[in-house]
Structure 1
């Protein structure tokens, strides 16, 4: 079996990049090789028995890229990835690309190496208000080696009581709400506090995934994954943070969603009350 942490040639790199996020979600029958080349790729992507177990929550109205970035990193790293929801009915996403869970809550092992929650504001609000989701996150998060999120996913972690007393970050539009649920907001793209790792908004998912990969394996393995996916961002505009965009653009954007903001605020208040945190 090929070891991803060992050097490999350019053809292997390109092949891995091409199938990056797809193979983990396919049923076993769809991955059956039909020729020697497919057999070789199957061997390369086989999941080792001791691979880290990663439970990645999927839910209706989530932001697909919050999931896909880290998922691609973890798949290339050959982790044992579980896409998790209450059932296996495809869930909606912001880009109208449905995602289907591979495991229900009951099918997720009691102990996982990583618990991960992606974002999506209104979907996150629904999760925060759903006792079954909160119970699942609180239970698995109490034993996971790493409790993690990207974007507004950190609000769900906080609502489940998993960020009390921890430094954390979130999407810039909601990050200031974290302290109301017991977390300490740190304005960084990826924040690590003991076994909590949280990423900022959407595109920070790749930074988060590579950072966690270095902890799950080592830095050299994470560097190889970065090279495989050719992650060398050069944004066309310096407009990706409130500081870069400036107060006028920020005000224009934040003023567009008062109803959504009110729903998030109400969910945070309800979570703070459950957690016994004074307003």
Structure 2
């Protein structure tokens, strides 16, 4: 199976590296890291990623995965990036995203009439691209698989692994990675977080959402 991850500047590295770690262990997996150019791609941390392909030489994909991050604003407005997502999404067996990567799929017209999820702060924005928002960590609608925010990408990847290779293979990968989460705090979702934590994150995302909505409007007007 050819698995293609889209890379773009200022993506959230765990949106990418979590699913990569799981899906690259699938039997016969061939992974391509596709970007507009083959120059190193900066993430939201000190980690820099090296694309293996650009949009012109990327092999046809069976599974397309779009990570999220603050860089989605620019990625949504880039004509070559959206053209690549449309092209690969049209022929992929599985079309997938993690976190706000769903909005790149949406800008490419791949979420219309589909159930989907994304990071909690952006969840209502899915309606702007014609999707039906579903509050869940992983959502499937036909061949479309979307994961919630950041760490949900790991659960998302195991869901895909089971779909592709069967539960026993997925469970074996889970054991190999010792994925046995037991978070020290019950603060991982708006429904569980204490008011001070929720308020701080709502304040953090407020200006980001304003910028995102402006970028999405421009992206949709270009399509």
Q: Name the TM tier (shorter chain).
A: over 0.9
Correspondence for 2:87:
139
Correspondence for 1:150:
98
Q: Judging by fraction of residues, say which structure has more strand.
A: 2
Correspondence for 1:259 among 198, 207, 216? 207
The equivalences for 1:36-185 within 5 A come to 52-78=1-27, 79-109=29-59, 111-121=60-70, 123-185=71-133
- Could you tell me how far apart the structure 2 residues matched to 1:241 and 1:253 are? 11
Highest CA radius of gyration, 1 or 2? 1
The 3-state SS of whatever aligns with 1:149 is strand
Q: Which moved more, 1:142-151 or 1:74-83?
A: 74-83
Correspondence for 1:250:
198
Correspondence for 1:197:
145
Gaps in structure 2 of 5+ consecutive residues:
none
Deviations 1:157-202 (A, max 9, x none): 1011011110000011111100111011000000000000000011
- Could you tell me how far apart the structure 1 residues matched to 2:53 and 2:39 are? 11
Gaps in structure 1 of 5+ consecutive residues:
1-51
Matched residue pairs, number? Answer: 222
The 3-state SS of whatever aligns with 2:120 is coil
The equivalences for 1:20-39 within 5 A come to none
The 3-state SS of whatever aligns with 2:73 is helix
* CA RMSD after TM alignment: 1.3
Higher RCO by CA contacts (8 Å cutoff, separation 6 or greater)? 2
- Say whether the 8 Å CA contact 1:138–1:162 is kept in structure 2: yes
Q: CA deviation at 1:218?
A: 0.9
Q: CA deviation at 1:247?
A: 4.6
TM-score, normalization by structure 1: 0.77
